[in-house]
Amino acid sequence: MDVQKAFSISPRQFATSGTVMVRPLLLKPQWMNGLSERLLVSHYEIDYGGALRRLNAIRARLADLDWARTPTFAINGLKREELMAASSVILHEIYFESLGGHGDNPPTGLDEPPAGLAQALAREFGSVRAWRAEFTAMAKALAGGSGWVILAWSERLGRLVNQWAADHAHGLAGAAPILALDMYEHAYHLDFGAKAAAYVDQVMANLNWERIGARYRMAIGEGAGEDELFLPFGAPPQAEARISAEELKAALENDAERRPVLLDLCLPRDLPRRADMLAGARMHVPAALPVWIEKLPRDRPIAVYCICGFQVSGRAVTELRRRGYDARALVGGITAWHAIGGATVPLDTSTYEEAP
Ligand SMILES: [Fe+2]
């Protein structure tokens, strides 16, 4: 496949052009605890994706800027917008990655912080319960306004702090966010209307403390082997079996012989969740693999996608590669594709098999 580099789950994600790459949803949006798929996906694709697209557009503009001739007001505006877009991207990623169940299981609402983080919260706030009371009160106090509430590790202060942020660019200097709670209205209005306090309680019942704990360990310099926690459940573990949305977009611009063949896999129960697809993709039932695999070329790269890039595309890619096909799973699925502004066409189910 004509792509420059495999997707990395490291926080440093840049395509070769310097583009800041999308991070996939790690939560299963259809199985969350009192937060709807419609809310989460629109927030991810439109608001997070919008910030990411804005950031890359500003970076492209800055790369071509003649610094000596550009008016100061234009420099001020671009650099201010760049900071806000970049912080919005990073905080949204921390927000979404802090939510979700474990493996294939929905969040239970009963999760507690892992031992190291629990001890730090108890040391600095009195108890985990006291930390939670402060953090949620701060979030609820932003009802009717907007901003972020952030749990951050400050190396300088030598402690975890709960921090209010009036906008995306209002972080405690030098502190590393561990958990971020989005209090912009777009984060809750679809499900909760003006009931911001109910939204805050529901977010707290969806926290993935395993990943928040990993973020804490990385912030204090004790992180090790955390990468797999930040890979979508069921995605192929080998980097060469995955393709990022940005890499796929570039590969689809190749001439016809080198362009990847696109496979859209969807479980029958998930069909009602779908409205569109990538142009030129063929849609199949995953379980009908013995039927549709016969039509796949062996001399072309194959890009497989599903809704969010979990086990539906992951399992198929593993099987295709086992049979010798050059197949890769789209990281983050069509949801990540939407977030980068990738073009789609209306769903075509004419190639979709009857469920076996
Ligand atoms: Fe947001």
Q: What is the pLDDT along the chain (356 residues), one digit of tens a residue?
A: 333 333 444 555 556 568 899 999 999 999 999 999 999 999 999 999 999 999 999 999 999 999 999 999 999 999 999 999 999 999 999 999 999 999 889 998 888 999 999 999 999 999 999 999 999 999 999 998 899 999 999 999 999 999 999 888 899 999 999 999 999 999 999 999 999 999 999 999 999 999 999 999 999 999 877 788 899 999 999 999 999 999 999 999 988 888 999 999 999 999 999 999 999 999 999 999 999 998 899 999 999 999 999 999 999 999 999 999 999 999 999 999 999 999 999 999 999 997 55
User: What pLDDT, on the 0 to 100 scale, is given for residue 226?
Assistant: 79
Distance CA 118, CA 265 (A): 41
- 201 CA distance to ligand 1 middle (Å): 17
pLDDT of residue 16: 59
What is the length of the chain? 356
Q: What are phi and psi of 20, to 5 degrees?
A: -80, 125
* Half-sphere exposure of residue 347: CA atoms within 13 angstroms, side-chain side: 17
What residues are paired with 148 via a beta bridge?
165, 182
Residues whose CB is less than 8 angstroms from the CB of residue 275 and which lie 6 or more positions away in sequence, other chains included: 346, 347
C-alpha 351/C-alpha 243 separation (Å) is 24
Query: Distance, CA 29 to ligand 1 centroid (Å)?
Result: 15
Ligand 1 centroid to residue 183 C-alpha, Å = 7
Ligand 1 center–CA 92 separation, angstroms = 6
pLDDT for 264: 98
φ/ψ of 133, rounded to 5, equals -65, -45
Cα of 209 vs its chain's centroid, Å = 17
Ligand 1 mean position, distance from CA 41 (Å):
11
Residue 264 is inside which H or E element, if any? Answer: strand 261-265
**Residues facing 303 on adjacent strands:** 262, 328
Choose among 297, 296, 316: nearest CA to 306: 316
Whole-angstrom Cα distance, residue 290 to residue 281? Answer: 18
Q: What pLDDT is recorded for position 224?
A: 77
Measure 256 CA to ligand 1 centroid, in angstroms: 38
Distance of CA 13 to the CA centre of its chain: 12
CA of 123 to the centre of ligand 1 (A): 31
Pairing of strands 242-243, 176-182: unpaired
Query: Which ranges constitute the DSSP H helices of 231-326?
Result: 245-251, 289-292, 311-322
How far is the centre of ligand 1, averaged over its atoms, from the C-alpha of 258 (Å)? 38
Q: How far is the CA of 271 from the centre of ligand 1 (A)?
A: 27
Distance 47 CA to ligand 1 centre (A): 6
**Closest to 265 in 3D by CA, of 301, 337, 318, 317:** 317
C-alpha of residue 266 to centroid of ligand 1, in Å? 28
- Ligand 1 centroid distance, CA of 4 (Å): 31
